[in-house]
């Protein structure tokens, strides 16, 4: 099975940098995804890591360490619109399903 942990809530200031951590214990692994979800809306894809290291995409970066079962999402130059839940998800070995963590609700304050 899969067990995925991430903090429930975080608060940060507009313009700052925030790091959202995710740890996982899995029986199989075929990639880690980060999704953003605004209240009442569908999750939208942010990033994907399957090999160790950092993937950068504009203001968003994601890091993976498979040996440590650890990932983080880094958000730079925070904007008010970044207030949302951020979901970490691990894909199973067969590539058939995602197991999501509970999500981290990020509140960006002026």
Partner 1 sequence: DTGVSQNPRHKITKRGQNVTFRCDPISEHNRLYWYRQTLGQGPEFLTYFQNEAQLEKSRLLSDRFSAERPKGSFSTLEIQRTEQGDSAMYLCASSPRGEQFFGPGTRLTVL
Cα dihedral 81, 85, 42, 69 sign: positive
By CB under 8 A, which span of 12-20, 43-51, 53-61, 71-79 interacts with partner 1?
Answer: 43-51
Among residues 43, 64, 78, 90, which is the contact residue for partner 1, using CB under 8 A?
43
Name, in order, each residue with C-beta under 8 angstroms of 40's C-beta and a sequence gap of 6 or more: none
Using rule CB under 8 A, residue 103 touches partner 1: yes
Nearest CA to 82 out of 7, 12, 6 is that of: 12
Binding site for partner 1 (CB under 8 A): 4, 31, 33, 35, 41-45, 48, 87, 89, 95-103
């Amino acid at each position: 099975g899969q067990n995925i942990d991430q903090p429930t809530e975080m608060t940060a200031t507009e313009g700052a940098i925030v790091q959202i951590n995710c740890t996982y214990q899995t029986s199989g692994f075929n990639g880690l995804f980060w999704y953003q979800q605004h209240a009442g809306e569908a999750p939208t894809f942010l990033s994907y890591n399957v090999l160790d290291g950092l993937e950068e995409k504009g203001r968003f970066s994601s890091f993976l360490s498979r040996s440590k079962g650890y990932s983080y999402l880094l958000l730079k130059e925070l904007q008010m619109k970044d207030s949302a839940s951020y979901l970490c998800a691990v894909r199973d070995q067969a590539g058939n399903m995602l197991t999501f963590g509970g999500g981290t609700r990020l509140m960006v304050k002026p």
